[in-house]
Amino acid sequence: MNITADAVKTLREQTGAGMMDCKSALVEAEGDMSKAQEVLRKKGLAAAAKRSGRTASEGMVGHYIHPGAKVGVLVEINCETDFVAKNDDFQALVRDVAMHIAAAAPTFVTKDEVPPSVVEKEKEIYRAQAINAGKPEAVADKIAEGKLKDFYATQVLLEQAFVRDPKVTIGQLIQEKVAVIKENIVVRRFARFRVGDATSNSPTE
């Protein structure tokens, strides 16, 4: 298949991946741009997994104030080096995540931060709803597990669909940036403020 230079350039601009990686992905996807992006994402996630164990002790505190100044966010995102913390791509990621938090109002950064008591309570509610709807207990358990995924998708930052591109979760967005920057990136904590709220939404210290 003949892959044009323009197609490779377009994919590179969309993903930040290398020219040869983009060309290989387009060949694998038979020229389909969307499928080529998926190929690169999968490879990016694999590359990012190798870096997930590295210490991320640098980074920056980003902020976002929504127009009207009624909602504001502070978020700390860490990387491995001060050099990357000053990188335009990294800073753009921090801004995007802060903006997303303002819009999507997550409660936790990761699934691990959700207290077991909260998880069990949610499962009990979903299970009871299913049983009350006439579902057998075994089916109700499966339904509860499925709805728990929906709970994570609404309450956990890394599981939420990115407001600017719902096809990608915030976790995937970060992993894609890891593949480009080639450093581990970790969202450490955030605080979301809304005028009139009694307390800020600050799940981690």
Q: Does residue 199 register a pLDDT over 70?
A: no
Q: Are residues 92 and 174 in the same domain?
A: yes
Tell me which residue range forms the domain holding 183: 58-110+156-194
User: pLDDT-derived band of residue 44, with 50, 70 and 90 as boundaries?
Assistant: low
- The Cα-based distances of 82 to 31, 58, 79, 91, 183 in angstroms read 38, 6, 8, 12, 11
> 98 and 10 in one domain?
no
**One domain for residues 162 and 187:** yes
Tell me what pLDDT residue 6 has: 85
Same domain, 76 and 161: yes
Position of tokens 């403020």? 193
Q: What is the pTM of this model?
A: 0.69
Q: Mind listing the pLDDT tens digit for each residue in 125-179? A: 988 988 888 888 878 888 888 888 889 999 999 999 999 999 999 998 998 888 8
